[in-house]
Amino acid sequence: MATRNFRKSPTGSHEPKSVGAILDEMLRSNPRLANACRMFKDALAEEEETEPDRLFREFFPDTHLCVDLKILSRKPGRMHVGEYINCLLTRDGEDHFEAIEDALKKQAAVHRNPIIYKGMHINVHRTADGTLYPTFSRPHYTECFTFKDFCRKAAEELMAVSGLVKEK
């Protein structure tokens, strides 16, 4: 019958040790090995510093050959070469991916009736057929600026604007 010979650890127990504890014990017991290990680590660190291509430190390539990719875009037609889109990529099958362009992207607001005069108390808008109409801004009333004051200022502004704006 074969007997196992366990080496006693410094603590005197025959329990298993972690790899880190074993390496630490080896490096403490052999200064040449510890020095060589330090030099090797320093050489690796220098090589990393001078490495020109650091692409795969932050990005991890994942190539899928022969897969179907469906792109649901917000504009018609194919993407141009080198064009980027902000999308959500979903793997919905073994060999199929789906890219949905960012649905939260807002379209530019279309002003139906643009403001042609923006004042302190009134704004003047122009409709598609060219007619003009005023709107009142919402005032902030205080003890010094009441509804009566707002009406007076708005009337003065209306009189000034009526002389400046010409109808088509």
For residue range 42-78, what is the model confidence (pLDDT) as tens digits?
877 776 655 555 555 666 677 777 878 787 877 788 8
How does DSSP classify residue 88? E
Do you know the residue count of the chain? 168
Please report which confidence band the pLDDT of residue 8 belongs to, taking 50, 70 and 90 as the band edges: low
Indicate if the pLDDT at residue 154 is higher than 80: yes
CA distance 142 to 110: 35
User: Residue 24: which of 15, 33, 16, 11 has the closest Cα?
Assistant: 33
pLDDT digits (tens, 9 = 90+) for 78-88: 888 888 888 88
Please report which confidence band the pLDDT of residue 109 belongs to, taking 50, 70 and 90 as the band edges: low
Give the pLDDT confidence score for residue 10 in this predicted structure. 57
User: Residue 80: which of 71, 91, 89 has the closest Cα?
Assistant: 71
- In this prediction the pTM is 0.35
60-66: long-range contacts, CB 8 A cutoff, minimum separation 24: 64/95, 64/97, 66/95
- Secondary structure of the chain in the HEC alphabet? CCCCCCCCCCCCCCCCCCHHHHHHHHHHHCHHHHHHHHHHHHHHHHHHHHCCCCHHHHCCCCCCCCCEEEEECCCCCCCCCCCCCCEEEEEEECCEEEEEECCCCCCCCCCCCCEEEECCCEEEEECCCCCEEEEECCCCCCCCCCHHHHHHHHHHHHHHHHHHCCCC
Q: Which tops the pLDDT comparison, 107 or 81?
A: 81
CA distance 133 to 130: 10
User: Residue 145: which of 136, 154, 132 has the closest Cα?
Assistant: 154
